[in-house]
Amino acid sequence: MPESANELTELLRALATREAAATPTVTLGTVTGQQIVELAFWPGTDEAVSADLLRIAGVALPETGGRALRSGGTTAFRVGPRRVWLAAPEAAHLGEALLDSLSKHGALVPLGHARAILRLTGAAAADVLSEVLTIDLDPLAFPDGAFATTALGRVGILVHRVGSVGGACAFDLYLPRSYAKWLASLVIKAAEPYGVAADVA
Amino acid sequence: MTARSHRLPEGGRIDRSRTLSFLFDGQSYLGHPGDTLASALLANGVRVVGRSFKLHRPRGVFAYGVNEPNALVTLGTGVDGEANVRATMIELRQGLVAHSQNRWPSLAFDVMGVNDWFKSAFAAGFYYKTFMGPAKKSWMTYEPWIRRAAGLGRSGTGSDSRRYGRRNITTDVLVVGGGPAGLAAACAAGRMGVRVLLVEQQPELGGSLLEDREGSAAASFVDMMEQELAGLDTVRVLKRTTVFGAYDHGVFGLVERPSPEAAPAAGERFIVVRSRAAVVATGALERHVPFGDNDRPGIMLASAARTYLNRYGVLCGRRVVVFTTNDHAYPAALDLAAAGATVSIIDPRPGPGPAMKAAVERAGVGLLSGHVVAEARGRAGVQSVLVAGYDAARGGTQPVWFELPADLVCVSGGYDPQVHLTSQLGGKAVWSDAAASFCSARQVGDAWASGAVTGVMSTTEVIADGLAQGRAAAIAAGGRGDPGGLRVSADLAASESPAAMMPLWDVPPPPSFRRRRKRFIDLQNDVSQSDVALAAREGYVSVEHMKRYTTLGMGTDQGKVANVVGLANLAAVTERAIADVGTTTYRPPYTPISVGALAGLETGQHSTPLRRTSLDLLHEAAGAVFVDAGHWRRPWYYPLKGETIDEAYRREALAVRTTVGMVDVSTLGKIDVQGPDTATFLDRIYVNAMSTLKVGRVRYGVMLRDDGLVLDDGTVARLGDAHFLVTTTTAEAGKVMSHLEGLLATVWPDLKVHVASVTDQWAAIAVAGPRALALLQDAAGARAAWLSDLPHMGLADGVIDGLPVRAHRVSFSGERAYELFVPSGYAAALWRRLAGSGGRHGLTLYGTEAMATLRIEKGHVAGNEIDGRMTLGDLGLAGLAKPGRHFIGSALMRREALMAPERPALVGLVPIDRGQRVRQGAILQPAGGPHEGHGLGHVSSTTFSPILGHYIALGFVAGGSARMGGQVDACSPVHGETVRCEVVSPKFYDPTGARLHA
């Protein structure tokens, strides 16, 4: 099977060929090879789902929204009362593993191809995002591991404060694939005054 | 200070180590960092900086901040030229270019200045009384000329090259205003551990304290507070930023101006603040007193003259008259005298407080109490004032007067609290006799007013109040502890003046004056006392009506100097109390904000979200011309070299009929529906049953709205016992998704059904035409049986060239067709594989135009037909709904009006003259007339059918099938065309569907 195409690669390559900012304070990159599965479970199955999740994916069912739980390579986002997103490297084949155990408790929907992940790293990452996101990104309110479903350019996205990546503050934006290129170009526009570079490695 | 220069050799907060050059009306001048354009012009002896709005009278700088009514300039040139910018708010930068406005050919000689000679004619309501005749619509003729004559600056018409930023900030306590109250409030809240955002519209903190001299107790207090705030990591300070709007739930709108050091392309930044609590410490602005010709250049507010002196080192005049009704202007007189000016104070009161009186005597400043300035003289700049005695008891001037030379007149009629923000939040401003103005409510929701905005004018009291309100706001925002106090110098307290002010709203001319001069209330709009009186005489006694009739309080300054004076004059002429007259409604913005800042980043390609399918780059490479479909951009057609759109889409459509075509249908809405109750759920939302659908099969379905009209159509594919994939039209995907989520959340929460939008997860490619299967078999190679065996309306999962593909054998074109669903990341690979095999089969890429042609030929309805007004019956789909079944819309679809036989029904239309074209949107009228009103219906879709060789159309005709075989006229008033058409079946091509199975 060929490698899945990434909507952001071309845009970031174009950014990388521009004259680099003298002192970039934010770097844009993308996360590839990521599998995302939406798990929706029926009322009264929380405990069973949590146990299965822990056993199969190694991550507990987050009790509330707003904070992602991460274990190994898997991150769990509680995006609704009975709805979780699980993000993990494709190699983990998480969807297939979950399908066997969890389909009796609810529904599993693969969404890995439905999202493109834009990663912002650097000292100015939060400042850049505050130009385009309305949520409170102060570390006191939005610490490492926090996530929110919010609007970017009037499009619904999920933003996750990953924590330190390579010693720098990092945010992952889960962008609807069809809007990804447009949204990323909006973020680039917001980032330009801060000095922006692209990581296309 | 040279002959022309008014800059003192030392003093002020400007950086004298550097010199900046700038142009005003093409003339080069010098200034310093820290100057505003206004201070730099004054330093260079420029007195006339603009012409007034209506009368084109010469005007000079009047204030020093956001309340400036006169000194409006156009900043910059060309497309980036920004009109009506207050010179008092423009920080000087090297190479700045500004022009005066509303004058021709020059500021010194303005032809339209002739208006001033006829000023008595230009009274309130002049336009409406004069230009209403002779014809009914004469105003329309006059209006453009009047606007051209009366306008101020002109904006550039090209694309603005500046970059306008945007920022969202969430904080615990927002403190509006960096004056003494705001500084204290920010300090108190910051000490209590909550996040504080302190916003100041000037480039420096200090507010009114900056009017004082360097080294003064006020200046020392500002320095101390800046140090304290810098040491609090909970406090963030935004300077050059104005809070222009206060909204519900702690939301505030701010605009930040770029600093002079910012890149020239930097524009304003629009900031939205969300705050748990707020302290509104917006202070008070000085107002003036109307007297004869009180608009002459060289007349300004006392606070302005003092600020230009102490902050910018500019002595605006040598012979100064300070006309004041209160003690707050006395320090201005003292400072000006100390700088070397000859100063006389004219005060209608018996005198100031004893401390101030002693200070005046010590400084040798002349003080004439019980007198007023009745008139100014000097057209291009004040040269003298006429001073008369004032009878405070009677409220009138004495007949005896004398002339006093003056090149600077400082006016102070008291202070108006800036109640805008608390008023916007719903707090009604209350009249205070002590302050002689409207003062802010103390608390509105989680916003606390503090300082001068509440009518407190003593600096020490303001500071104490700031501490108290800052503490209150911090507690509301979750702060803890005691903020403690502040060390306030005894000198700061000692400099205060407790004497009462005298409200003075108008200085009528002494009875002995022969000529009556305009006594301006609103300088920006040339509204005088006589205009207010005229409005009242003509019945405009409501303050809101008076405002609109006279234009008092309109424009860029929104009457910050004039409003209360205007209200007081209206009260006087209508013999009411000012409190009874009330205020006009305070609405955002407090100060102007550029439209560019409001647009922020959302300009050009970012003004509207753009959706691309995963095949977008391939479409570009294939030379597609795109069309917008909602947020999506879709290939419209793929022209060959030199081909027109008509030639292209006809070629593409014909290829589908004769060989094979391929189209990107990824934009179709796709909803994954799972759960044990899914079949039940789908039965309730579709007019036709879905529970009977077998696994591996696809069915066409239609949904209704609650009101019985058609919502959308699409297909339902059963992937498993409890797993379905629903497709919707591109246009209605979001609406249908919300519809389903809403039903599951509110109407049937007991159903175990989960819906998820997978529109972006799956790309979709339709391959249609007699050679479709051959092409797919070729692409799939040896493993093509799953495709070969697929029946019409069947689905199967398989692999093409190593790619996971789900094929639905459904057709929108009427040809044998396959919709191939593939995970979006693999879509490009699949498309390339199919295109690679396509040459042998005559593959043609087709776009939405050809797709429309194909579906019209088949009589399939789409968005043009499902327009929110149609029933199942109208669309010819009544047979889908079996009698007795219950589903959303089933009750109301049987309303009498929706069942009426005369309802418009879907028909096909063919021009009698096959060479003619039927226009979309044409009104269908009886053949031969009469062609009146809404007629019999309308044409919804039209195309040239390449397979039939003529135009065809779909439309709705009253009576529908009863008119089959008859004729109607398709009338397009837009094109001036009438085309006689035959009413036929909407299935123009292959009505039996034989080709689907070919």
ipTM of the complex: 0.97
What would the two tokens of residue B285 be? Answer: 């602005």
Q: How far apart are CA B237 and CA A55, in angstroms?
A: 50
**Could you give the CA distance from residue B832 to residue B836 in angstroms, rounded to a whole number?**
6
Which residues on chain B are in Cβ contact (under 8 Å) with A192? 163
Contact assignment for A107 to B675 by CB distance below 8 Å: yes
d(CA B589, CA B110): 32
Q: State percent of chain B over pLDDT 90.
A: 87
In angstroms, the CA B366 to CA B345 distance is: 6
Chain B residues touching A178 at Cβ < 8 A: 611-614, 632, 666, 759-760
Q: Is B612–A2 a contact, with Cβ atoms under 8 angstroms apart?
A: no
CA distance, residue B452 to nearest chain A CA (Å): 32
B672 part of contact set with chain A, CB < 8 Å: yes
Residues 6+ apart with CB under 8 A from B101: B50, B51, B72, B73, B74, B83, B84, B152, B153
pLDDT of residue B294: 98
Map residue B904 onto helix, strand or coil. strand
**Interatomic CA distance for residues B515 and B529, integer angstroms:** 15
Which residues are registered as beta bridge partners of B686?
Answer: B703
Q: Chain B window 820-879: which residues touch A at a Cβ cutoff of 8 Å?
A: 823-829
CA B707 to chain centre: 36
DSSP structural state of residue B201:
S
The C-alpha angle with vertex B466 and arms to B462 and B467, in degrees rounded to 5, equals 125
Chain A, chain B: beta-carbon pairs less than 8 Å apart: 134
Contact A113 B169 (CB under 8 A): no
Which residue from A minimizes the CA distance to B606? A186
- Chain A residues within an 8 Å CB radius of B674: 40, 107-109
Q: Distance between CA atoms of B252 and B248, rounded to whole angstroms?
A: 8
pLDDT attached to residue B158: 83
Chain A interface, best mutation among B666, B748, B824, by max A CB count within 10 A: B824
d(CA B753, CA B734): 18
Cβ–Cβ of A113/B609 closer than 8 Å? no
CB contacts of A112 in chain B (<8 Å) are 761, 823, 825
- Angle at alpha carbon of residue A43, lines to A37 and A49, rounded to 5°: 45
What angle, 0 to 180 degrees and rounded to 10, lies between the N-to-C axes of helices B543-550 and B529-537? Answer: 120
- B762 and A113 in contact by Cβ < 8 A? yes
> Checking DSSP bridges between strand B58-59 and strand B82-86, what pairing results, if any?
unpaired
Asked if A131's CB is within 8 angstroms of B166's CB, the reply is yes
| A201 band by pLDDT with thresholds 50, 70 and 90 | confident
B918: phi then psi, degrees, rounded to nearest 5: -95, 135
Cis (ω within 30 of 0) for the bond into B134?
Answer: yes
Residue with tokens 């005049």: B317
Tokens of B935: 């007629």
Q: Is the CB of residue B146 less than 8 Å from the CB of residue B115? A: no
Residues of B in contact with A106 (CB under 8 A): 675, 754
pLDDT at B996: 86
Q: Which of residues 755-784 of B touch A (CB under 8 A)?
A: 756-762
Q: B488 at the A interface (CB within 8 A)? A: no
Strands (E), B177-265: 196-199, 235-238, 241-247, 251-256
Nearest residue in chain B measured CA to CA from A142: B170
**Contact indicator for B341, B368 with CB cutoff of 8 Å:** no
Alpha helices, DSSP H, located in B698-763: 733-742
Q: Residue B606 and residue A182: Cβ atoms within 8 Å?
A: yes
Give the pLDDT of residue B947.
Answer: 97
In angstroms and rounded to an integer, the radius of gyration of the C-alpha atoms of chain B is 38
Amino acid letter for position B572: A
Please state, as a whole number, how many other Cβ atoms lie within 10 Å of the Cβ of residue B27: 9
Q: Nearest 5°: CA angle at B439, between B436 and B441?
A: 155
The C-alpha atoms of residue B364 and residue B358 are separated, in whole angstroms, by: 10
* Residues contacting residue B808 through CB under 8 Å, at least 6 positions apart: B698, B715, B717, B794, B795, B818, B819, B821
d(CA B612, nearest CA chain A) in Å: 5
**CB spacing of A113 vs B167 below 8 angstroms:** no
Q: Which candidate, B409, B348, B349, B400, places its Cα nearest to that of B377?
A: B409
The answer to whether the predicted template modeling score (pTM) of the entire model surpasses 0.90 is yes
Contact B231, B170 (CB under 8 A): no
CB–CB contact B631 A141 (8 Å): no
Any CB–CB contact under 8 A between B611 and chain A? yes
Residue of B nearest to A138 (CA): B170
Chain A nearest CA to B84, separation (Å): 27
Q: Which residues of chain B have pLDDT under 70?
A: 1-4, 150-151, 494-498
CA dihedral of residues A136, A137, A143, A149 (deg, nearest 10): 70
* A-contacting residues in B 83-142 (Cβ below 8 Å): none
